[in-house]
Structure 1
Amino acid sequence: MNPERAETIAIQALGWLAANDDLFPVFLGSTGASADDLRAQAADPAFLGSVLDFLTMDDAWVVAFCDAAGLPYDTPLRARHVIAGEAGMHWT
Protein backbone atom coordinates (compact mmCIF):
# COMPACT_ATOMS: atom_id res chain seq x y z
CA MET A 1 0.00 0.00 0.00
CA ASN A 2 1.38 3.40 -0.91
CA PRO A 3 0.99 6.57 1.21
CA GLU A 4 -1.63 8.07 -1.09
CA ARG A 5 -3.82 4.97 -0.81
CA ALA A 6 -3.36 4.94 2.97
CA GLU A 7 -4.47 8.58 3.21
CA THR A 8 -7.47 7.86 0.98
CA ILE A 9 -8.52 5.06 3.32
CA ALA A 10 -8.14 7.37 6.31
CA ILE A 11 -10.29 10.01 4.60
CA GLN A 12 -12.90 7.33 3.89
CA ALA A 13 -12.79 6.37 7.56
CA LEU A 14 -13.25 10.00 8.56
CA GLY A 15 -16.27 10.27 6.28
CA TRP A 16 -17.69 7.07 7.72
CA LEU A 17 -17.20 8.36 11.26
CA ALA A 18 -18.80 11.71 10.41
CA ALA A 19 -21.87 9.90 9.06
CA ASN A 20 -22.19 7.71 12.15
CA ASP A 21 -24.53 9.53 14.55
CA ASP A 22 -23.54 7.36 17.51
CA LEU A 23 -19.80 7.17 17.00
CA PHE A 24 -18.99 10.64 15.68
CA PRO A 25 -19.59 12.40 19.02
CA VAL A 26 -17.34 9.82 20.69
CA PHE A 27 -14.62 10.56 18.15
CA LEU A 28 -14.96 14.31 18.65
CA GLY A 29 -14.87 13.88 22.42
CA SER A 30 -11.79 11.68 22.33
CA THR A 31 -9.87 14.04 20.05
CA GLY A 32 -11.12 17.31 21.52
CA ALA A 33 -11.69 18.48 17.95
CA SER A 34 -14.66 20.32 16.53
CA ALA A 35 -16.24 19.69 13.14
CA ASP A 36 -14.42 22.79 11.86
CA ASP A 37 -11.11 21.37 13.11
CA LEU A 38 -11.78 18.19 11.17
CA ARG A 39 -12.29 20.07 7.93
CA ALA A 40 -9.10 22.06 8.49
CA GLN A 41 -7.00 18.98 9.32
CA ALA A 42 -8.46 16.45 6.89
CA ALA A 43 -5.37 16.62 4.67
CA ASP A 44 -2.83 16.34 7.52
CA PRO A 45 -1.27 12.85 7.62
CA ALA A 46 -0.80 13.04 11.40
CA PHE A 47 -4.49 13.77 11.86
CA LEU A 48 -5.46 11.03 9.41
CA GLY A 49 -3.32 8.66 11.43
CA SER A 50 -5.27 9.60 14.55
CA VAL A 51 -8.50 8.82 12.70
CA LEU A 52 -7.21 5.33 12.01
CA ASP A 53 -5.91 5.00 15.57
CA PHE A 54 -9.41 5.74 16.84
CA LEU A 55 -11.11 3.41 14.37
CA THR A 56 -8.82 0.49 15.15
CA MET A 57 -9.50 0.71 18.89
CA ASP A 58 -12.59 -1.46 18.44
CA ASP A 59 -12.94 -4.50 16.19
CA ALA A 60 -16.66 -3.82 15.71
CA TRP A 61 -15.87 -0.37 14.32
CA VAL A 62 -13.28 -1.82 11.95
CA VAL A 63 -15.72 -4.45 10.72
CA ALA A 64 -18.52 -1.92 10.24
CA PHE A 65 -16.27 0.52 8.37
CA CYS A 66 -14.70 -2.16 6.18
CA ASP A 67 -18.08 -3.70 5.37
CA ALA A 68 -19.42 -0.29 4.37
CA ALA A 69 -16.32 0.53 2.29
CA GLY A 70 -15.90 -2.94 0.80
CA LEU A 71 -12.41 -3.34 2.24
CA PRO A 72 -10.61 -6.28 3.86
CA TYR A 73 -10.61 -6.03 7.64
CA ASP A 74 -6.86 -5.55 7.88
CA THR A 75 -6.88 -2.47 5.65
CA PRO A 76 -7.28 0.27 8.32
CA LEU A 77 -4.36 -1.03 10.38
CA ARG A 78 -2.20 -1.50 7.29
CA ALA A 79 -3.03 2.07 6.24
CA ARG A 80 -2.15 3.31 9.72
CA HIS A 81 1.27 1.67 9.54
CA VAL A 82 1.96 3.28 6.17
CA ILE A 83 0.92 6.73 7.39
CA ALA A 84 3.04 6.38 10.53
CA GLY A 85 6.09 5.22 8.62
CA GLU A 86 9.15 4.17 10.54
CA ALA A 87 8.58 6.87 13.16
CA GLY A 88 5.37 5.17 14.20
CA MET A 89 6.91 1.75 14.77
CA HIS A 90 7.21 0.70 18.40
CA TRP A 91 8.87 -2.58 19.19
CA THR A 92 8.28 -2.59 22.93
Structure 2
Amino acid sequence: MENRHIHQDAEATAVAVLGWLASEPDMLSRFLALSGVRPDQMRQAVNDPGFLAGMLDFLMAHEPTLMAFCAATGTKPETVMAAAQRYSQPTLGSGEI
Protein backbone atom coordinates (compact mmCIF):
# COMPACT_ATOMS: atom_id res chain seq x y z
CA MET A 1 0.00 0.00 0.00
CA GLU A 2 2.82 2.42 0.88
CA ASN A 3 4.51 1.73 -2.47
CA ARG A 4 1.33 2.79 -4.26
CA HIS A 5 1.25 6.02 -2.24
CA ILE A 6 4.87 6.75 -3.18
CA HIS A 7 4.05 6.15 -6.85
CA GLN A 8 1.04 8.50 -6.70
CA ASP A 9 3.12 11.22 -5.02
CA ALA A 10 5.86 10.86 -7.64
CA GLU A 11 3.32 11.02 -10.43
CA ALA A 12 1.65 14.10 -8.94
CA THR A 13 5.04 15.79 -8.63
CA ALA A 14 5.95 14.94 -12.23
CA VAL A 15 2.61 16.35 -13.44
CA ALA A 16 3.23 19.52 -11.42
CA VAL A 17 6.70 19.89 -12.96
CA LEU A 18 5.29 19.43 -16.45
CA GLY A 19 2.58 22.02 -15.78
CA TRP A 20 5.15 24.46 -14.44
CA LEU A 21 7.45 23.92 -17.43
CA ALA A 22 4.51 24.53 -19.77
CA SER A 23 3.95 27.90 -18.08
CA GLU A 24 7.64 28.84 -18.44
CA PRO A 25 8.31 29.02 -22.22
CA ASP A 26 12.06 29.69 -21.90
CA MET A 27 12.53 26.82 -19.46
CA LEU A 28 10.38 24.48 -21.57
CA SER A 29 12.41 25.34 -24.68
CA ARG A 30 15.62 24.60 -22.81
CA PHE A 31 14.28 21.27 -21.52
CA LEU A 32 13.08 20.24 -24.98
CA ALA A 33 16.43 21.17 -26.53
CA LEU A 34 18.35 19.17 -23.93
CA SER A 35 16.02 16.17 -24.00
CA GLY A 36 15.62 15.98 -27.77
CA VAL A 37 11.84 15.73 -27.42
CA ARG A 38 9.83 17.78 -29.90
CA PRO A 39 6.78 19.72 -28.65
CA ASP A 40 4.47 17.46 -30.70
CA GLN A 41 5.94 14.39 -28.96
CA MET A 42 5.29 15.60 -25.40
CA ARG A 43 1.73 14.30 -25.13
CA GLN A 44 2.96 10.78 -25.86
CA ALA A 45 6.20 11.17 -23.88
CA VAL A 46 4.42 11.89 -20.59
CA ASN A 47 3.47 8.20 -20.43
CA ASP A 48 7.15 7.20 -20.52
CA PRO A 49 8.75 6.87 -17.06
CA GLY A 50 12.12 7.63 -18.66
CA PHE A 51 10.82 10.97 -19.94
CA LEU A 52 9.47 11.82 -16.49
CA ALA A 53 12.78 10.84 -14.89
CA GLY A 54 14.62 13.06 -17.36
CA MET A 55 12.28 15.95 -16.69
CA LEU A 56 12.79 15.64 -12.93
CA ASP A 57 16.56 15.29 -13.39
CA PHE A 58 16.53 18.44 -15.54
CA LEU A 59 14.84 20.32 -12.72
CA MET A 60 17.22 19.01 -10.07
CA ALA A 61 20.36 19.61 -12.12
CA HIS A 62 20.06 23.39 -11.73
CA GLU A 63 19.32 24.58 -8.21
CA PRO A 64 17.87 27.99 -9.23
CA THR A 65 15.41 26.20 -11.52
CA LEU A 66 14.49 23.74 -8.79
CA MET A 67 13.96 26.56 -6.31
CA ALA A 68 11.87 28.54 -8.82
CA PHE A 69 9.61 25.51 -9.31
CA CYS A 70 9.35 24.94 -5.57
CA ALA A 71 8.51 28.59 -4.88
CA ALA A 72 5.91 28.71 -7.67
CA THR A 73 4.16 25.50 -6.62
CA GLY A 74 4.73 25.29 -2.87
CA THR A 75 6.58 21.99 -3.36
CA LYS A 76 9.48 21.01 -1.11
CA PRO A 77 12.79 20.18 -2.87
CA GLU A 78 12.76 16.85 -1.00
CA THR A 79 9.49 15.97 -2.73
CA VAL A 80 11.08 16.53 -6.14
CA MET A 81 14.09 14.45 -5.08
CA ALA A 82 11.86 11.59 -3.92
CA ALA A 83 9.93 11.67 -7.20
CA ALA A 84 13.15 11.64 -9.21
CA GLN A 85 14.41 8.65 -7.22
CA ARG A 86 11.11 6.84 -7.78
CA TYR A 87 11.31 7.27 -11.55
CA SER A 88 15.00 6.48 -11.82
CA GLN A 89 14.82 3.21 -9.87
CA PRO A 90 14.55 0.01 -11.88
CA THR A 91 11.26 -1.84 -11.56
CA LEU A 92 10.56 -5.55 -11.61
CA GLY A 93 9.17 -5.36 -15.15
CA SER A 94 12.08 -3.36 -16.51
CA GLY A 95 14.56 -6.23 -16.64
CA GLU A 96 17.12 -3.99 -14.92
CA ILE A 97 17.11 -5.83 -11.59
Q: Aligning the two structures, in what range does the TM-score lie when normalised by the shorter sequence?
A: 0.7 to 0.9
**Of 53, 56, 65, which aligns to 2:57?**
53
User: Unpaired runs of 5+ in structure 2?
Assistant: 92-97
Point out the structure with max Rg over C-alpha. 2
Aligned length: 87
Mapped to 2, the partners of 1:55 and 1:68 lie a distance apart of: 13
TM-score normalised to structure 2 length: 0.80
2:69 corresponds to 1:79? no
Structure 1 runs of 4+ aligned residues shifted over 2 Å read none
Pairs within 5 Å for 1:29-48: 29-48=33-52
Identity of aligned residues (%): 33
Residue by residue over 1:43-66, the C-alpha shift from the partner in whole angstroms, topping out at 9 and shown as x without a partner, is: 221211111011111111111111
RMSD of aligned residue pairs (Cα, Å): 1.5
The residue that corresponds to 2:66 in the other structure is 62
Gaps of 5+ in 1: 88-92
Q: CA deviation at 1:86?
A: 4.8
TM-score by length of structure 1 reads: 0.84
1:7 to 11, 23, 30: 11
Structure having greater relative contact order (Cα 8 Å, sep ≥ 6): 1
